[in-house]
Amino acid sequence: MNTESPEGRPQADEQGTEQGDAHGVWSEDMELAPVHPGDREPGDTSGDRQGERLQKVLARAGVGSRRVCEDMIAEGRISVNGRQILEQGLRVDPQTDQIAVDGQRLDVRNDRVTYAMNKPFGVVTTMKDDRGRPSVGEMVGDLAAGLVHVGRLDQDTEGLLLLTTDGELAHRLAHPSYEVPKTYLAQVSGSVPRDLGKRLRHGIELDDGPVAVDSFTLKDTHAGQSVVEIVLHEGRKHIVRRLLAEVGLPVSRLTRTAVGPIELARMRSGSLRRLNRTEVGALHELVGL
């Protein structure tokens, strides 16, 4: 039993434990009082939350069975909004909460899809072409309502093109301020000067302003033809062809092989594949979503 001294300070109980804090007497009943939302630390995901149980959301996203997901939570492999989660049954909102597995952002929203296409040579990047030319829109058909292409590839350029129903993701991936790196393989006529990589990284002046590459690699040379790899985050029209023509290497074939972390890999020309949740999460992280 607790007693107070005449000065109002708590006295030790029968076991010699002092009950109190800096603000006065501590009552055992206070342990049952809920935490006021304003007293929670920033980023604290505990407390009353609306939504679905975390393990259910993870299982639906294909991480594993609910039992496996519960084990992963117990092992500390899951985080929500940057906070490691160890307790079972936490409720999350798949539309707003950022969920990561082993530090890798996971997209768990159900209402948006993103695809990778290997655009063939001769296909125009538009959902509908008034001139009747083969178009990206014809290739995807009614695959998903609201599907848009992310940026453009020239008609005579082939390779990786992203399409998505996520308007904000499409905007950020295409906007130059986010500096999304894009990788190209170019077959060019002529031999590549030894110092060309340094010159391209330093910057080349074009009619509409300077352009500098992020990286430049000579991949192959044979019979007066060379294959080079260029990585840059520019999005100006015909930028790779104009850049290489300016340094005396006209392009005879151009293929985009990567956009950020998404690679063309072994996709056949004209094929489509839906990006998995980890890949979409990596795109979100790249552009700050």
C-alpha distances in angstroms, 90 versus 35, 64, 106, 165?
16, 17, 17, 29
> Can you count the helices (H) and strands (E) in the chain?
7, 17
Q: Is 129 a catalytic residue?
A: no
Euclidean distance between the first and the last CA atom of the chain, given in angstroms as a whole number: 55
Question: For the packed helices 277-286 and 167-174, what is the interaxial angle rounded to 10 degrees?
Answer: 50
**Tens of pLDDT along 34-83?**
434 344 444 444 445 578 889 888 876 667 777 888 999 999 999 999 99
Paired tokens of 180: 């999304």
Q: % helix / strand / coil in the chain, to the nearest 5?
A: 20, 30, 50
Residue type, position 184, single letter: Y
Would the pLDDT of 88 be above 50? yes
Q: What pLDDT does residue 254 have? A: 96
Point out the catalytic residue in the list 93, 129, 154, 214.
Answer: 154
User: What is the residue type of 215?
Assistant: S
Structure confidence by residue, pLDDT tens digits, 205-228: 999 899 999 999 999 988 889 999
Pick the range with the lowest mean pLDDT from 53-57, 104-108, 123-127, 175-179.
104-108
Cα angle at 82 between 79 and 83, to 5 degrees?
A: 60
Instruction: Render 53-117 in DSSP notation, one character per residue.
Output: EHHHHHHHTTS--HHHHHHHHHTT-EEETTEE--STT-EE-TTT--EEETTEEE---SS--EEEE
- Report d(CA 143, CA 17) in Å as an integer: 69
Q: How confident is the prediction for the chain on average, in pLDDT?
A: 81
pLDDT at position 189 over 80: yes
Report pLDDT for 62.
63
Predicted TM-score of the model (pTM): 0.66
Q: What percent of the chain has pLDDT over 90?
A: 44
Residue 119's closest CA among 165, 166, 157, 169?
A: 157
Read off the pLDDT of residues 95-119 as tens digits, 9 standing for 90 and up: 788 888 998 888 776 668 899 999 9
Query: Residue 180: pLDDT above 50?
Result: yes
